């Protein structure tokens, strides 16, 4: 499965390299003399990952170039093997100092890693018999992070998302993904409808999850390669996304609450798909 070098730029007019993981562009919030938090410009070519699982998986990843690691002594001791294997120098710190470098309420667990963005993947490079997720303007970083984590657990081959109306693949999202970003290639596209057309040309069955779908996903015939298309909460799938799906299917829930958070719906859909494809 090819990952495109992020320096190569665009291909086919629809996919972008660096946008697959947009650097946050700011780092090291500090306290001024009056006690107010201020921000200091960081390296725009770096992304920041914090928390035990995101940092551990980034250190283990063959695809991630790591640059700097801040760690408390206790946190560093939990990652001794990974740190030694990478040969990365530790910058000793304290929980309080890390809190000043990160967004308010960030759960850093004594770790902050600066690294290069992961290379993007082109839609054209998706496997011929793959299972992929397509996100139609799902913007909440917690939801997208949970989806990435679920995708890693279900061995999803890639996630297709949009350049605009999608969160940066770092920071809060990476923490919610709990290391999943290192295991699921991301395809970032400019035009989602065109990407869905490309998937159709590649033989993918495109199944849009829609609460008003004519049939339940359990009753829908599924085959690989398969693309499950998920829309944003509230808005659902956009018109062009719906029109570029081969079939629309709903998730029938037996309880009093019939709708699910998009990340939970993703987990249910992948469970059904894996059972039906096995």
pLDDT tens-digit series, residues 33-47: 333 333 334 566 899
Q: How far apart are CA 90 and CA 9, in angstroms?
A: 32
Average pLDDT by stretches of 10, the chain with 278 residues: 41 43 43 34 79 97 96 97 95 96 93 93 94 96 97 98 91 95 96 97 97 94 98 90 97 88 96 96
- Residue 216's contacts (CB-CB under 8 Å, 6 or more residues apart) are 249, 250, 251, 252
In tens, the pLDDT along 52-68 reads: 999 999 999 999 999 99
Mean pLDDT of the residues in the chain: 87
Q: Where are the beta strands (DSSP E) in the chain?
A: 26-31, 37-41, 47-50, 66-71, 90-92, 111-115, 131-136, 158-162, 186-189, 205-209, 215-216, 226-231, 247-250
What domains does the chain contain, in order, with CATH numbers? 21-115 (3.30.1330.30), 123-277 (3.40.1280.10)
Token digits for 78?
A: 């939990």
Q: What is the pLDDT of residue 4?
A: 45
Q: In 7-72, which residue ranges form alpha helices assigned H by DSSP?
A: 52-60
Collapsed DSSP state (helix, strand, coil) of residue 231: strand
Q: Where are the beta strands (DSSP E) in 93-138?
A: 111-115, 131-136
**Whether 17 contacts 119, CB under 8 Å:** yes
Helix, strand, coil percentages, rounded to 5, for the chain: 35, 25, 40
Q: How far apart are CA 67 and CA 47, in angstroms?
A: 10
Long-range (24+ apart) CB contacts under 8 A made by 58-65 are: 58/113, 58/115, 58/179, 58/181, 58/182, 59/83, 59/85, 59/86, 59/88, 59/113, 60/182, 61/182, 63/3, 63/118, 63/119, 63/182, 64/115, 64/116, 64/118, 64/182, 65/115, 65/116
What pTM did the predictor assign?
Answer: 0.83
Q: How far apart are CA 275 and CA 278, in angstroms?
A: 5
């Amino acid at each position: 499965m090819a990952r495109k070098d992020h320096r190569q730029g665009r291909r086919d007019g629809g996919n972008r390299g660096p946008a697959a993981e947009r650097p946050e562009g700011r780092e090291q919030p500090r306290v001024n003399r009056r006690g107010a938090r201020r921000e200091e410009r960081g390296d725009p070519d770096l992304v920041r990952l914090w928390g035990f699982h995101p940092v551990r998986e980034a250190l283990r990843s063959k695809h991630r170039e790591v640059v700097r690691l801040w760690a408390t002594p206790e946190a560093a001791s939990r990652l001794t093997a990974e740190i030694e294997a990478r040969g990365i120098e530790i910058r000793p710190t304290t929980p309080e100092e890390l809190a000043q470098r990160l967004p308010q309420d960030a759960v850093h667990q004594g770790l902050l890693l600066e690294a290069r963005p992961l290379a993007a993947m082109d839609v054209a490079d998706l496997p011929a018999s793959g299972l992929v997720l397509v996100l139609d303007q799902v913007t909440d970083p917690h939801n997208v992070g949970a989806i990435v984590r679920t995708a890693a657990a279900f061995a999803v081959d890639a996630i297709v998302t949009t350049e605009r109306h999608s969160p940066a693949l770092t920071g809060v999202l990476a923490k919610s993904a709990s290391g999943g970003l290192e295991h699921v290639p991301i395809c970032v596209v400019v035009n989602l409808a065109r990407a869905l057309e490309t998937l159709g040309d590649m033989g993918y069955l495109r199944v849009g999850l829609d609460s008003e779908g004519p049939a339940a996903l359990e009753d829908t015939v599924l085959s690989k390669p398969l693309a499950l298309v998920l829309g944003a909460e509230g808005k659902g799938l956009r018109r062009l996304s719906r029109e570029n799906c081969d079939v629309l299917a709903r998730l029938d829930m037996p309880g009093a609450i019939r709708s699910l958070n998009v990340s939970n719906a993703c987990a249910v859909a992948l469970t059904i798909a894996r059972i039906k494809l096995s």
